[in-house]
A and B are shown apart, each in its own frame.
Chain A
Amino acid sequence: MTHYIARRLMLTVPVLLLVTVIVFTLINMIPGDPALVFIGGEAGQDAVEALRKQMGLDRPLFVRYVIWLNRLIHGDFGKSVRDGRPVLDVLLLKLPVTVELAIVALTVAWAIAIPAGVLAAWKRQSVVDYTATTVALAGISIPNFWLGIMLIYLFAVNLRLLPPSGYIEPWIDPVRNIKLMIMPATVLGTALAALVMRLLRSSMLEVLGTEFIRTAHAKGLSDRIVIARHALKNAMIPVATVMGLQLGGLLGGAVITEQIFAVPGIGRLAVESIFTRDYPMVQGVVLFSAVAIVFVNFSVDVVYSFLDPRIRLVEDKT
């Protein structure tokens, strides 16, 4: 097992290195001169040139990459070109917000998806199944920004039950923190739930058709026990992968939802940094997101090997 984990961990190193190359190259390929965007074109050409020099943009791309990578290895993500804040400080400031939103959103998603998926498979082609499938389709189809605005108008402006948007740290005002999280988490959660529900439904159907389930039934076990103890556990294996990917995606920031609900997380940081051509910040954010996904995937693989010992054994043999 340790051998397996160590090998998987080793594999992430070249992946991460490749990520740095892609992140750096792509970001530097975005059209638009960061110095000009920063200075807004208000100053003359000489001022823009001076700023380009100050930002190190006069050097060749490769040299800039090596300098950046070297600093990165030493834990220095660089400084924001907007106001000189260390990129890492800003990322660490945003991380708790994004992590909180991700956890609450996934909780909402799973709380909807797991019972709905199981019910839909169990009561296949019944009203329950059709309802769950329709709701899931709606969840996928309704755009986040629309649902977000609608929720704000209904619950914040008309009913005045929830604050419309913003963020407050849980240690300052826990009740308000939860109230502020409800709507963005619902918007994200319903969209994510749809996918998990659909996947769980088909995975459950597959499992329910297998022989060991028939054996369980033959032993006289009740439907409830067959589903909860036998079917669900097996059906969760492919679903776990998707859930992991969803978590990784959310850690990279829920761009639109964060924008609408003014949640100051990684997603908003990414958007603002791209628009202002804050290269060090964009590089930091994208790299962080990539690392989050690599790390979550790695964790899922480890969990997976616990859920399904065959995976570990096959890997070890090769």
Chain B
Amino acid sequence: MKRSLLAAAVILALLGGLASAQTPRRGGILRVGLNADPPNMDPHQSTAAVDRQVFQSLFDKLVDVDENLHIIPMLATSWTITNGGKTYTFKLRPNVVFHDGTPFNAEAVKYNFERMLDRTFASPRRFEVILTERVTVTDPLTVQIDLESAFSPFLAILSDRAGMMVSPTAARRLGRDFAREPVGTGPFKFVEKRPQDRVVLERFDRHWDRGAGLTDRIIFRPFTDGQARLANLRAGELDIIDQVEPTDVPDLRKDTRVKLFERDGLGWQGIWLMTQGPPFNNKALRQAVNATIDRRTLVRVVFGDTATVANGPFPTGMLGFDAASNNRIPERNLDLARARLREGGQPSGFAFTMKITPGRVEQQIGQIVQSMAGEVGIRVNLEIVEFGTLLSQLAALRYEAARLGWSGRPDPDGNIYNNFVTGAGQNRAGYSNPRFDTLLDAARILTTTEHRRRAYADALAIMNDELPYLFLYWPKEYKVMSPKVQGYVHNADGMIRLRHMWLSP
């Protein structure tokens, strides 16, 4: 009897302890180490991925995505899609104010869309919401958006920068200078930004979600050097860091002084082949190069298990992932490579130049591809080009092959459409196939998951035969934190949502 009482007491004490450990605590300063200096604080002007890390706390979006990439409410509490997928009607959250006191309502949403669509403002978001035909304020808390045509990825797009609502008062007053004094509705408001030094945010007491904004302040600091970033975390100068070098991961897994978060990401990486000029306007030669690559070995050597071997644009967990063609990793086949070389009119091999950006990982990938292709007489010349220059050369289709990937979007459309459809902004291969285009257009209109999945599977089958891009791997998504950081949910989009995070004593 005594023993059971004691056991009960112990259990109760443990439960009590657990409960108190789980109760969010307010206060403190959360220090976040980013991998680059966020250049622009206006979500409608921003182009750098790192900006989005700060935006998660500064701005609310119309909708958000959860860890399974499902769309969840944020500033819009509910929505209906009617008119064959062309009309989106959003019910907005009441009693929401911007940091400058401006009320958030349907008029504000309308203004935000007009701002993104304004030609003279040249917003990088314009292209994302270009299908918007009309924004109608039905009542203060209802807004209706009519699209030119059905567009299934629309909600996913609104879960990112295009869905972030800026204060119309501040945006009108500041114009492009809004980037220097951003005003949103998020649980943290802007205090200051010192270029290459820090971005400071402070809790916004009038935020609609009483459970959000637990720490008093957030300080973001940029560390471009991965080693320096990690050293700062280990020395207790930072609480969270974004991204680690693949070589640091095995140690971090064993390190009990830090918490490592690891999961599959959304991006894809591989090699662009320029299909509008020699040598890769010859499909057989593209297939020949592909057949020489042993993806499994490449990934194991360069990344260990910090990346997943890939053969398509849809990483695990994303709609479209289980398409058979995407899952099947082609085995290395030198006989096939030789056959394709003969078919392509180059039986004894050929030479091409592959552009890579500076860095150890890039160089390793380049050299591995070079030696693998070399075995059938394909000579790969590696040319190291600075990132900005590479972008320009790719946009102008002035290259033969290039190592560059895509950071990924929550909806599969964002991982394929603009990258491979004829004439699309990110189609670096100059690739064009009318049937492929039709399938991807169909996937945008189709509303059921199953139908979309099938369209993507068919499109992938075409791509895996024509090979405008050699998919190699999907990088995993890493965050490292001090043990006192609580409440983190690791989302595949890699965004650190700090609003419900807190520091234990």
Contact = CB atoms under 8 A, between A and B. Distances in A.
Nearest to B227: A149
A51 interface: yes
B211 interface: no
B176 A84 contact: yes
B391 A90 contact: no
A36 B122 contact: no
Given A42-B124, A264-B195, A36 B237 contact: no
A260 B227 CA distance: 9
B124 A40 contact: yes
B318 interface: no
Contact of B124 (A43, A45, A160): A43
Contact of A43 (B41, B126, B197): B126
B180 interface: yes
A272 B195 contact: yes
B505 interface: no
Interface string A66-89: 000000000000000011110000
Given A83-B41, A83-B179, A85-B195, A42 B388 contact: no
B225 interface: yes
B490 to A, nearest CB: 25
Contacts of B149: none
B391 A32 contact: yes
B196 interface: yes
Nearest to A266: B196
A200 interface: no
B235 interface: yes
Nearest to B42: A83
B225 A260 contact: yes
Interface stretch (A7-15, A162-170, A302-310): A162-170
Given A32-B389, A42-B127, A93-B195, A50 B231 contact: no
Most chain A Cβ neighbours within 10 Å, of B37, B122, B176: B122
Given A41-B425, A264-B195, A149 B228 contact: yes
Contacts of A93: 194-195
A157 interface: yes
B39 A276 contact: yes
Nearest to A35: B122
B37 A272 contact: yes
B235 A157 contact: yes
Nearest to A160: B235
Nearest to A38: B47
Contacts of A147: none
A83 to B, nearest CB: 4
B395 A36 contact: yes
A269 B40 CA distance: 15
Contacts of A44: 127, 425
Interface residues of B, number: 48
B392 A163 contact: no
Contacts of A149: 227-228, 231
A269 B47 contact: no
Given A84-B177, A156-B235, A264-B197, A165 B223 contact: yes
A198 interface: no
A201 interface: no
Interface in A88-104: 90, 93-94
Given A40-B47, A50-B122, A262-B223, A164 B232 contact: yes
Given A42-B124, A42-B127, A262-B221, A36 B391 contact: yes
B197 A167 contact: yes
Contacts of B126: 43, 47
B387 A275 contact: yes
B224 A259 contact: yes
Contacts of B45: 83
B148 interface: no
A153 B233 CA distance: 12
Interface string A261-282: 1101000110010011100000
A43 B45 CA distance: 11
Nearest to B390: A32
Contacts of B361: none
Given A85-B180, A272-B37, A37 B388 contact: yes
Nearest to A51: B122
Interface string A126-168: 0000000000000000000000010011001100100111110
Given A41-B425, A83-B39, A90 B223 contact: no
B251 to A, nearest CB: 13
Interface in A12-39: 30-33, 36-39
Contact of B426 (A42, A90, A268): A42
A54 interface: yes
A51 B47 CA distance: 13
Given A269-B195, A272-B37, A272-B196, A36 B124 contact: no
Contacts of B235: 152, 156-157, 160, 163-164
Contacts of B418: 42
A152 B224 contact: no
A167 B41 CA distance: 22
Contacts of B259: none
B313 interface: no
B390 to A, nearest CB: 8
A165 B228 contact: yes
A249 B232 CA distance: 28
Contacts of A36: 391-392, 395
B186 interface: no
Contacts of A94: 195-196
Contacts of A42: 47, 124, 127, 418, 425-426
Given A43-B126, A47-B122, A264 B388 contact: no
12 contacts: A32-B388, A38-B47, A83-B42, A90-B195, A149-B227, A149-B228, A152-B228, A152-B231, A160-B235, A163-B235, A164-B235, A264-B197
Interface of A: 30-33, 36-45, 47, 50-51, 54, 82-85, 90, 93-94, 149, 152-153, 156-157, 160, 163-167, 259-262, 264, 268-269, 272, 275-277
* A-B interface, 8 closest residue pairs, ranked by CB to CB distance from nearest: A264-B197, A32-B388, A40-B47, A83-B179, A82-B39, A31-B389, A50-B122, A32-B389
Given A83-B39, A262-B223, 14 more contacts: A36-B391, A43-B127, A43-B425, A45-B425, A47-B127, A83-B41, A84-B177, A85-B180, A160-B235, A164-B235, A166-B237, A259-B224, A269-B195, A275-B387
Interface of B: 37, 39-42, 45, 47-48, 119-120, 122-124, 126-127, 176-177, 179-180, 194-197, 221-225, 227-228, 231-232, 234-237, 386-389, 391-395, 418, 425-426
